[in-house]
Structure 1
Amino acid sequence: MGALATLVSALALSACATTGGSGEAASASDKAKDDAFAATPAGDPVFASTYKPYPNIATAIRGATIYDGKGGKIENGVVFMSGGKITAVGGPATPIPADIAVFDGTGKFVTPGIIDIHSHLGDYPSPGVEAHSDGNEATAPTTPEVWAEHSVWPQDPGFSRALANGGITALQILPGSANLMGGRSVTLKNVPARTMQGMKFPGAPYSMKMACGENPKRVYGSRGRMPSTRMGNLAVNRETWLGAIDYANDPKAKRDLGKETLVGVLKGEILIQNHCYRADEMALVLDMAKEMGYKVAAFHHAVEAYKIGDLLRENDVCSAIWADWYGFKMESYDGILENAAFLQREGACVVIHSDDQNDIQRLNQEAAKAQAAGARVGIDIPDATVIQWLTYNAAKAMGIADMTGSLETGKMADVVLWNGDPLSVYSRPEKVWIDGALMFDAMNPKTRPVSDFELGQPGEGDVK
């Protein structure tokens, strides 16, 4: 009888988290849910962001081709930034106030800052030695209690290289994928800072990293522990979610950091970023999410997403993918170069991610490769849409699209001026602004951030 009561309670709570209603019944349901979660401080502002924008001046870029990040394109356009925000975006007739910094963008291109939804910079920093391997707490199948931000090393040289070579203005740092539940992610502004909190994107929600498939069953099966199979993966996940629901319903429960994170997910305060390769497993995860009452924001790597583009569209789940990495393990065997193109054709959300300290420096080129693969099979995707894969779509899946990811009035002035077509292998960022502050200028060697770790290292940090 006790087990049945627990199950009924779990299902009732998960339904509260996913369904709405109207009138008196809906109000009672919402109140019950709020009461159930009231004792869980998942949203407390611990380790709060101390980020403050660098000094900025009113700036305009004129005469450039502008991709606004949401599929729009403006020829010979103007972008005006003031007070750290986008003030105006428009055609050549857009007024520019006198006595401000004006850059000539003739023959150049402007995009929103590039956003990497899947990075391990700071947690697996350079140099890549064992002492720096801090991205995976591979000691238990579920570790929702750990937070990636507590491993971030702000002096990782990869941050400044991502800024200068890739135009990266924001990035999500995720735990690794050895665990079914790897812990919380953190979203960072790509600025030099002494502490992680000094980089922490203000107002960005947390995400929790989950993983399905080969990694967790291999890691723990090799140790003679559960899970050792895919069915074990799902069983451990479901038991863990049910435990979190019981915790949320028990006002006398002792504080539990892992369950706090899980309850934050059930409340909709913490997003889910799910490492998953195979289409059938992604479908299973979507069913589990509905059972337990949470939503998946994005499937990461997702090499078989093209098989279920319609399902992903209907569930409003993004696919954060590579352009052409596949075949390096069995579950990645069925990857195809046209993955992004087929997803776009289905109207699903596409994001190009890195998962790599080098690829983060050329996400623009990775997106161009995926676009070209589509063109070869007759799927023509406009350049402006491809830029959206790197900007607005990433911001959407990270829960920050209301603040950044597109060039819209009132949003953060996270802007890249490219010296040519950003989807060309020959183009590079010429200037990068973050909250309106000029953080990188290829034309000025003094505006090139160098990690403290690189200072004094032979051959490192030199201006070339």
Structure 2
Amino acid sequence: MPLLKKLKKINIRWQMIAVAASLLVPQAYAHTINKDPYPSTYSPESSQLIAITNATVLTGAGEQIDNASILMNKGKIIGLGNNIQIPSNAKRIDGTGKWLTPGIIDAHSHLGLFSSPNHKSQKEGNEWTKPVTPEVWAEHSIWPQAPEFSRALEGGITTMLVLPGSANLFGGRGVTIKNVPSISREGMKFPNAPYSIKMACGENPKRTYGNKGGPKTSMGNMAGYRKAWQDAKAYQQKWQNYEQALKAGKKATPPARNVALDTLVGVLDNEILVHIHCYRADEMNSMINLSKEFDYKITAFHHAVESYKIANTLAKENICSAMWADWWGFKMESFDAIDENVPMVASQGACAVVHSDSAAQVQKLNQEAAKAWADGNKVGLNISKAQAFSWLTLNAAKILGIDKVTGSLEKGKNADVVLWSGDPFSSYSLTEQVYIDGNLMFDRKSNFNIIQSDFELGINE
């Protein structure tokens, strides 16, 4: 074989080897950012086979089933309906005359951030230093020993989204937690739940920063958002250019890390959910336009007292509203609130959620939803209790990004279940038992609450 032909053959072999080797080495992600540096360490205790029988069931997905039973095992729902077979070795709980629902999900909470005992050292909800702080994470301020968690559990709250406060244009990341006892914050984190970013429009950022060099007007607020998203777009492009260079086999230096812009790029990459504190319809419309300018998705407006004015727009854009039942008049931007806001949003096919934003109201969110349901029916909206209960469960799970695993009583989902003494829309009904992942966390009859805090005992001098 001529020498030139041999050399060409050897060269082709080396090229083939090089290509094969390149397939084994991740070229584009040699300097990939760890997107979950503080992963959940929560692991449910093993749970026994439990059947609750003969109860009125609200599935949380808009359906009511009378005289039904539920079967739970190994943390999951394995049966639900009128004619399910109950194994002889199952622990039976008679639900006759009682009601059964999914665990309630509070989609807007500050528990663990603004805590009791009420002291300045415990005011952890707002990073007051500048109006744009996407680099802060609410989970790093959560106090697992906060006594409010046990009170929320007694109200049937099994899951919550803990958000930073609303002082800033970008308040930081929110975190979804399970209402379980833990020494560490990571031990409360809902496994695989997506992160969120808390934004705020309206009066709060202006009031906080108007005399501190920050925005004084609504146009100043908008300018602040746009500048932050502009910076995020540029940062995203730098990383894309770097990864493309690696893929092309070129030498490249990774961009300088910026933890604030990491969060905003997470939004642009559809990995982090956007939750916006926003009251007025005109400002919600502006935020929708802003999201289209920078190509990201808004998950939910919170408080949203004027959502009833733009319910059709919210339905079209697939944006949820997390709302109070009847808060009104405590500041100017809340004056056009109406008691029928929640049911009016739901009646237009938009996603409605009832939230607390309160350490007191979280203990009776069922009653908050009941008030909104009653106000809607008074004006002829004719919403069923089964539909209205989804405002606390499946719809709330949807805006947290966890609706595939919780938020409704369905076979295969997490066994997050509440047994009520009666109709949960009655002010006379109480939670009797609360289960998280099939484990009994609260039992009123035995005066048992698995969440215990030394700070509930008080301080004796």
- TM-aligned CA deviation for residue 455 of structure 1: 4.1
Q: 1:159 aligns with which of 149, 155, 160?
A: 149
Query: Do residues 84 (structure 1) and 52 (structure 2) align?
Result: no
Partners of 1:158 and 1:284 lie apart in 2 by: 36
Q: 1:46 aligns with which of 16, 21, 37?
A: 37
- TM-aligned CA deviation for residue 222 of structure 1: 2.4
Query: Do residues 323 (structure 1) and 325 (structure 2) align?
Result: yes
List per-residue Cα deviations over 1:105-131 (Å, max 9, x = no partner).
000000000000000000111122211
Q: Which residue of 1 aligns with 2:263?
A: 261
Partners of 2:265 and 2:99 lie apart in 1 by: 44
Change (3 A) 1:409 1:238: same
Query: Do residues 199 (structure 1) and 188 (structure 2) align?
Result: yes
Q: 1:352 aligns with which of 347, 351, 354?
A: 354
- Aligned residues: percent identity? 55
Q: 2:237 aligns with which of 222, 241, 249?
A: 249
**Tell me, which stretches of 5 or more residues in structure 1 are unaligned?**
1-34, 459-464
Partners of 1:40 and 1:285 lie apart in 2 by: 31
SS of equivalent to 2:267: helix
SS of equivalent to 2:390: helix
Aligned residues: 420
Partners of 1:171 and 1:246 lie apart in 2 by: 33
Partners of 1:337 and 1:37 lie apart in 2 by: 51
* Maintained 8 Å contact 2:397/2:407: yes
List per-residue Cα deviations over 1:47-81 (Å, max 9, x = no partner).
11110113411101110000111001100001110
The correspondence of residues 452-463 of structure 1 with structure 2, limited to 5 A, is 452-455=454-457, 457=459
- TM-aligned CA deviation for residue 410 of structure 1: 0.8
* Maintained 8 Å contact 1:319/1:350: yes
* Maintained 8 Å contact 1:40/1:260: no
User: What amino acid maps onto 1:417 in structure 2?
Assistant: L
Q: 1:234 aligns with which of 222, 226, 232?
A: 222
Partners of 1:363 and 1:376 lie apart in 2 by: 20
User: What amino acid maps onto 2:153 in structure 1?
Assistant: L
Partners of 2:113 and 2:232 lie apart in 1 by: 27
* Maintained 8 Å contact 2:150/2:449: no
Partners of 1:39 and 1:272 lie apart in 2 by: 26
- TM-aligned CA deviation for residue 452 of structure 1: 2.9
* Maintained 8 Å contact 1:36/1:249: no
In the superposition, the TM-score normalised over structure 1's length comes to 0.88
* Maintained 8 Å contact 2:60/2:408: yes
Query: Do residues 179 (structure 1) and 181 (structure 2) align?
Result: no
SS of equivalent to 2:404: coil
- TM-aligned CA deviation for residue 210 of structure 1: 0.2
Partners of 1:235 and 1:242 lie apart in 2 by: 10
List per-residue Cα deviations over 1:144-192 (Å, max 9, x = no partner).
000000000000000010001x100000100000000000001100011
SS of equivalent to 1:88: strand
Change (3 A) 1:253 1:370: same
The correspondence of residues 48-127 of structure 1 with structure 2, limited to 5 A, is 48-91=39-82, 93-127=83-117
- TM-aligned CA deviation for residue 263 of structure 1: 0.4
* Maintained 8 Å contact 2:106/2:355: yes
Query: Do residues 418 (structure 1) and 389 (structure 2) align?
Result: no
* Maintained 8 Å contact 2:69/2:84: yes
List per-residue Cα deviations over 1:276-312 (Å, max 9, x = no partner).
0000000110111011111111100000000000000
- TM-aligned CA deviation for residue 342 of structure 1: 1.0
SS of equivalent to 1:390: coil
Greater Cα offset, 378-387 or 305-314:
378-387
Partners of 1:118 and 1:255 lie apart in 2 by: 30
* Maintained 8 Å contact 1:220/1:226: yes
Partners of 2:437 and 2:314 lie apart in 1 by: 33
Change (3 A) 1:315 1:293: same
Greater Cα offset, 121-130 or 277-286:
121-130
User: What amino acid maps onto 2:37 in structure 1?
Assistant: V
Partners of 2:221 and 2:188 lie apart in 1 by: 34
SS of equivalent to 2:108: strand
The correspondence of residues 14-29 of structure 1 with structure 2, limited to 5 A, is none
Partners of 1:374 and 1:38 lie apart in 2 by: 55
- TM-aligned CA deviation for residue 38 of structure 1: 9.1
* Maintained 8 Å contact 1:442/1:448: no
* Maintained 8 Å contact 1:344/1:350: yes
**Tell me, which stretches of 5 or more residues in structure 2 are unaligned?**
1-26, 240-253
Query: Do residues 131 (structure 1) and 133 (structure 2) align?
Result: no
Change (3 A) 1:339 1:39: farther
Partners of 2:412 and 2:447 lie apart in 1 by: 31
In the superposition, the TM-score normalised over structure 2's length comes to 0.89
SS of equivalent to 1:172: strand
SS of equivalent to 1:296: coil
Large movers: runs of 4+ above 3 Å: 35-40, 455-458
